[in-house]
Structure 1
Amino acid sequence: MKSQHSQQSQHSRPTQSPDLLAPLDLAFWNIETAEHPMHLGALGVFAAGSPGDAQHAAELLAARAAGVPGLRMRIRGVRIPVGGAAREPVPDFDPLGHVQLAQPTADFHAAAGALMERPLDRARPPWEAHVLPGADGTSFAVLFKFHHALADGLRALTLAAGVMDPMDLPPSRPAPAPEAPRGLRLPFPGMRDLRLGDLDPRKLPGLVRESASSAVTALDIGASVVRATLDVRSSPAFSSHPTGTRRTEGVVLELDDVHRVRKSVGGTVNDVLIAVVAGALRRWLDERGDGSEGVRPRALIPVSRRRPRTAHPQGNRLSGYLVKLPVDEGDPLARLRSVRRAMDHNKDAGPQRGAGAVALLADHVPPIGHRIGGPVVAQAARLLFDILVTSVPLPSLGLRLGGCPLTEVYPLAPLAQGQSLAVAVSTYRGRVHYGLVADAAAVPDLDVLATGIRAELADLVRACEAVERPV
């Protein structure tokens, strides 16, 4: 009897609901191939006091990673819903398999490009940290790689910060624990996470209206995507046959110069940073002989929909704006005004509308649709936009690893299949850091684009000074 009662208690014990991937996470998981990985990265450069600091940093990363729960999570398929996937902790997690100490190098970006080519092991927690000792012993770098299904830019920042040196900060109110997925998933966001037995008939009209509104939004986004593909004025330089090769470059600018331009012309810091990309692309196209006349590539500008303290800490919550970069405009101030107008127009419409909000359509696709349609979606990226330009916020506080200060940090965006370039930008301690990622075979001259970014901001500053100078 005792044994039987024990067995009954065991069977009646509630099982923990799986941490199902959000629709957009599932999309990122399914569009990846071994030949075309979909991970994002960040290359941080640290000042070293001695040649042994790099090895000490690798040891610290491995030791601290064991204590960060998000780094123990792997992704596996589930039976229900069909085609879905979930995160689960790995019981025998070994951080030594994720942290590697490389050979000394004189070029951190060359080493990072080679490492970004390698896909992450999908059977393990999909992240890696590579410690790159500097050849001169005065610095080292750490390349973090995270699969986009495990973390977006903000979440990746949180995970990376978890292995940095602790800082003496005032305690912050913890974010509430995410609600575990429950019940039957219904087709529209307004009717998700409901159990049919809990459905209040009095709420049904409101749910129906919300679902209908959601369907109208999806149709509006779809129509905007179609319209955005009709008047495309791009250049073959922005597309390429995927080779799986990667090249990275980094550019550092002074934030004071960006603020000087912003105060002179108006708009936002982000407007200036995007306009700098447009001017640099113009220089790059002209330098390589492709020409910039009549070229207005569509830039996808991701917009985070994550709300502080309330959003799911792991799921991607992204929308975006689609902006035609005025690469064909010769005057740097006119380029900036054009970018500002386009961004203002997108902000007035909101991140729920327009072709840039295409990521929201992932919510309207069942899990099995993501699994079957993943390869098709991956191929369609070049039809939707020409280049990704994303911004990743960083804390203004100085970060350290093993007592070594972080001096530079370059965000590295995933490169969409069929595209040759992706740009990510962050501000850190009074400086702007551009991280450039390219298909190495299609863009052997990525250094020219990096030089163009520096030259474009300098031209904007001079143009603003000329306007302000009294006659």
Structure 2
Amino acid sequence: MNSQQSQRTRPAPSPDLLAPLDLAFWNIETAEHPMHLGALGVFAAGSPGDARHAAELLAARAPAVPGLRMRIQGVRIPVGGAARVPVSDFDPLDHVRLGDPTADFHAAAGALMERPLDRAKPPWEAHVLPGADGTSFAVLFKFHHALADGLRALTLAAGVMDPMDLPVSRTAPAAEPPRGFRLPFPGMHDLRLGDLDPRKLPGLLREGASSAVTALDIGTSVVRATWDVHTSPAFSSTATGTRRTEGVVLELDDVHRVRKTVGGTVNDVLIAVVAGALRRWLEERGNGSEGVRPRALIPVSRRRPRTAHPQGNRLSGYLVKLPVDEGDPLARLRSVRTAMDHNKDAGPQRGAGAVALLADHVPPLGHLLGGPVVAHAARLLFDILVTSVPLPSLGLRLGGCPLTEVYPLAPLAQGQSLAVAVSTYRGRIHYGLVADAAAVPDLDLLATGIREELAALVRVCETERGTV
């Protein structure tokens, strides 16, 4: 057989099918409800031309990052499914754009976050925003949530940063998925039909039964979470498709001072700061905080190294009622810590916050047909998203310009007015706030509330230490 015949008979690689949660994110999107996440990075510039140079570098490096060449398209089998497929005519200039100079990076980012990504192309964009004074520029990365979760988006963005800051392994292509159809049983996703050993069937059936019990437990918790709700109209809105963003930078040392005084984790403090800021925001705008305990969804990553599909969303979560109605900052923090400890004891496989796991029990056609229903259901389950996106401790650069600030931007659930994302970068905490611009024209008040709340916690903790 000659080489040409060998190429004709070689089986085509299996499609990189979207995981159930990825498929859910892809199908719930509408023009008024885009499902992309973002990251706004601010870089120090040595000259006004650095922004243009950064855009040229991003366009030149993007083709070498495999994940950036993938678009999402439907497949025949399974019915209703979709897969990531490489595009042969990938043009980085379709994705990397140089914007006009601006004095307000967040105002520009909000306008850009409104625009849905082109679903016919690899669903990501990088917008380079020159600073009006020429001493800085920003890059807004947008990734569809079906293409990447926060960790995967970080890897893709890091792939176009200066090579000296990027380990070689991060640019390596993802491992090829197993060949053959995936079996619709929990615990069997990575098996091939020809590899099924009948002797393993009893164990697999037991695993499937256990998974069904877990799904029932989560479903029951979801129903309970819709009872006895104490929220505020300020957290919900009709989806307008408009977006506003704000960023807040806090010192990690201040957060550690609070944590060492009260106990718990850094994450407990960061969530408590959100609760206190929401209280200040509601009081400032006249909504009032009495009796308000909004339900916050705290995503938890279930990603494991060397998985067959490292780019897929692997998420669970905790559901926490934020003590917005509590007037004492330390009492708010202790309440958050207790709630988080309770969730951690139960684990990320249980409780209403683990609702994302139910996506694994829905066939692809169900995701396709049920997307609109799922999109509307989010507002019934939780009131605000509070998520943490880890960043590398090493300093990142682009074209030799150091990254000085980075604000993660989470997608808004349909019918909700606010989402909060947090990252720690080089000893500083960065809060990225995203809001429906029509529902929350005063997002700057919430940003101010975050600063004031941490300052209040630091003052109270200093007083506590002084009286010990």
Q: Answer whether TM exceeds 0.5 for this pair.
A: yes
> In the aligned structure 2, how far is the partner of 1:171 from the partner of 1:99?
23
> In the aligned structure 1, how far is the partner of 2:173 from the partner of 2:395?
27
DSSP-derived class of the 1:299 partner: strand
Alignment partner for residue 161 of structure 1, among 147, 158, 162? 158
| Number of the residue aligned with 2:445 | 448
DSSP-derived class of the 1:16 partner: coil
> In the aligned structure 1, how far is the partner of 2:48 from the partner of 2:395?
22
| Number of the residue aligned with 1:35 | 32
State the Cα distance separating 1:192 from its structure 2 match: 2.8
- Asked if residue 203 in structure 1 is aligned to residue 200 in structure 2, the reply is yes
Alignment partner for residue 316 of structure 1, among 313, 318, 335? 313
Consecutive unaligned residues in structure 1, runs of 5 or more: none
Alignment partner for residue 133 of structure 2, among 136, 142, 162? 136
| Change over 3 Å in CA distance of 1:253–1:188 after alignment to 2 | same
Structure 2 residue identity aligned to 1:315: G
Percent of aligned pairs with the same amino acid: 90
* 124-133 or 190-199, larger mean C-alpha shift: 190-199
| Change over 3 Å in CA distance of 1:389–1:187 after alignment to 2 | same
State the Cα distance separating 1:197 from its structure 2 match: 4.0
Structure 1 residue identity aligned to 2:32: E
Listed one character per residue, the Cα deviations across residues 306-328 of structure 1 (whole Å, up to 9, x for unaligned) are 12344632100000000000000
> In the aligned structure 2, how far is the partner of 1:386 from the partner of 1:284?
15
DSSP-derived class of the 1:191 partner: coil
State the Cα distance separating 1:34 from its structure 2 match: 1.6
| Number of the residue aligned with 1:113 | 110
Contact 2:66–2:173 (CA under 8 A) maintained in structure 1: no
State the Cα distance separating 1:170 from its structure 2 match: 7.4
- Asked if residue 381 in structure 1 is aligned to residue 346 in structure 2, the reply is no
> In the aligned structure 2, how far is the partner of 1:320 from the partner of 1:410?
21
> In the aligned structure 1, how far is the partner of 2:173 from the partner of 2:440?
45
> In the aligned structure 1, how far is the partner of 2:155 from the partner of 2:169?
14
> In the aligned structure 1, how far is the partner of 2:94 from the partner of 2:8?
36
> In the aligned structure 2, how far is the partner of 1:428 from the partner of 1:315?
24
| Change over 3 Å in CA distance of 1:390–1:169 after alignment to 2 | closer
DSSP-derived class of the 1:388 partner: strand
| Number of the residue aligned with 2:299 | 302
| Number of the residue aligned with 2:356 | 359
* 303-312 or 112-121, larger mean C-alpha shift: 303-312
Report the TM-score, using the length of structure 1 for normalisation.
0.96
| Number of the residue aligned with 1:403 | 400
DSSP-derived class of the 1:469 partner: helix
> In the aligned structure 2, how far is the partner of 1:50 from the partner of 1:176?
35
State the Cα distance separating 1:372 from its structure 2 match: 0.2
- Asked if residue 96 in structure 1 is aligned to residue 109 in structure 2, the reply is no
> In the aligned structure 2, how far is the partner of 1:271 from the partner of 1:173?
30
State the Cα distance separating 1:102 from its structure 2 match: 0.5
Listed one character per residue, the Cα deviations across residues 135-162 of structure 1 (whole Å, up to 9, x for unaligned) are 1111110000000000000000000001
| Number of the residue aligned with 1:423 | 420
- Asked if residue 458 in structure 1 is aligned to residue 455 in structure 2, the reply is yes
- Asked if residue 50 in structure 1 is aligned to residue 47 in structure 2, the reply is yes
Listed one character per residue, the Cα deviations across residues 57-87 of structure 1 (whole Å, up to 9, x for unaligned) are 1001100111111100000000000000001
Consecutive unaligned residues in structure 2, runs of 5 or more: none
DSSP-derived class of the 2:392 partner: coil
Residues paired across the two proteins, number: 468
| Number of the residue aligned with 2:217 | 220
| Number of the residue aligned with 2:432 | 435
Contact 1:46–1:408 (CA under 8 A) maintained in structure 2: yes
| Change over 3 Å in CA distance of 1:345–1:69 after alignment to 2 | same
Contact 2:277–2:449 (CA under 8 A) maintained in structure 1: yes
Contact 1:182–1:193 (CA under 8 A) maintained in structure 2: no
> In the aligned structure 1, how far is the partner of 2:315 from the partner of 2:180?
25
DSSP-derived class of the 1:61 partner: helix
| Number of the residue aligned with 2:368 | 371
Tell me the C-alpha RMSD between the 2 structures.
1.8
> In the aligned structure 2, how far is the partner of 1:239 from the partner of 1:327?
16
